[in-house]
Amino acid sequence: MYKGKYLSAVIIAAGSGTRMGSTINKPYLEVGGKKILELSLETVTNISEFDEIILVVREEDMTLATEILSLFRDPRIKMVAGGKTREESTYKGLSALNPDSDLVLSHDGVRPFASRDLFLRVLGEMETYKAAIAATKSKDTVKVANEVGEVDFTPNREFVYNIQTPQAFDTRLIKKLYEKYFKSEAKITDDSQLFEFFDRSEPVKIVEGEYSNIKITTAEDIIFAGAYIRGKN
């Protein structure tokens, strides 16, 4: 419970990992002697405020995921099969939540370095907002291009953020927005974008993220992750 509210987590580990170029799906690659998903779950399971943890994986990866879950033996964890897209997988996780769920944090299973402090800072904003997301200010100048690859304009870097997870939401509201999404032609790349399409009346609060909170997507990310772990040790 978090301040009298039933708190849920949905961990998405159902991607195909095509950009990694590996025969092993990303969550089950090893970094520093541990699977990526194992590292992510270590942080999540150490947050006592979570009443339940829904792990969403590919159906064909359930055996691998079960092996990792055996290391934790945490009765709060429930595993469900994902869908064809990240949005479908997230909604399957949301649909598996306890009906009493008031707040839900969604997190990428391949972001193993998000700290406990980051989770709690995102969650803390839910006392005021119905949506809060982790994000870091862009270190680079960003250009917006037109259809033929020519520069259209340069947004002010002061207001440009790289979006991360965890992201926290009012459970009933995020489920309602996903139901609208699946009836629409909209396309999103993160859960909080649903508010931009379907509920502009509810602001999404940005919480200062962590540059170390990378999403492991390519082989280069594995190299960085290994170096990061060695540096911490």
CATH code of the domain in which 57 resides: 3.90.550.10
Decide if 151 is inside a domain. no
Q: Please state the pTM of the whole predicted model.
A: 0.94
Asked if residue 226 is part of any domain, the answer here is yes
Does 223 reside within a domain?
Answer: yes
How far is residue 41's CA from residue 113's CA, in Å, rounded to a whole number? 10
Query: Is 137 a member of any domain?
Result: no
3-state secondary structure 70-111: CCCCCCCEEEEECCCCHHHHHHHHHHCCCCCCCEEEEEECCC
For residue 25 the two structure tokens come to: 């799906």
Q: What pLDDT does 24 receive?
A: 78
154 domain-assigned: no
How many folded domains does the chain comprise? 1
pLDDT, one tens digit per residue, over 87-115 is 999 999 999 999 999 999 999 999 999 99
The whole-number pLDDT of residue 25 equals 87
| Domain range enclosing 40 | 7-132+164-232
Regions in the chain scoring below 50 on pLDDT: none
**161-190, pLDDT tens digit by residue?**
999 999 999 999 999 999 999 999 999 999
- On whether residue 140 sits in a domain, the answer given is no
pLDDT given for residue 7 in this prediction: 98
Considering the domain boundaries, does residue 49 fall inside one?
yes
Candidates 132, 89, 92; CA nearest to 110 is: 89
Is 172 a domain residue?
Answer: yes
